[in-house]
Structure 1
């Protein structure tokens, strides 16, 4: 990692899903990428139909890559 990458702030994103099947499929797809992600219980403060959410940590420039 170079110094410009060190200075980038990281952001956590939380993706919610309608079904457990969708959450597991997203987790499997993310395992094939270079991004750090993990399946977590959906926080109780967030209304979602599924009890699982996918948390992804990204630096700002990486956001454009996953659109």
Structure 2
């Protein structure tokens, strides 16, 4: 698995025609580094909380 993060990094990879080697590209460089370092991501926490509130199951049904 190859992960690249950050707008400038992705731009450089595109210019070098290397995007085909990347498994996952994220424009959120700082957020990606924080997540990979074990810090919580507020957006993911919000999605988990929303799922609890609205009772949506993993298959997408309520």
- TM-score scaled by length of structure 1: 0.24
Q: Give the structure with the higher percent helix.
A: 2
Q: Using CA pairs under 8 Å that are at least 6 residues apart, name the structure with larger relative contact order, 1 or 2.
A: 1
- TM-score scaled by length of structure 2: 0.25
Structure 1 or 2, whichever has the larger Rg, is 2
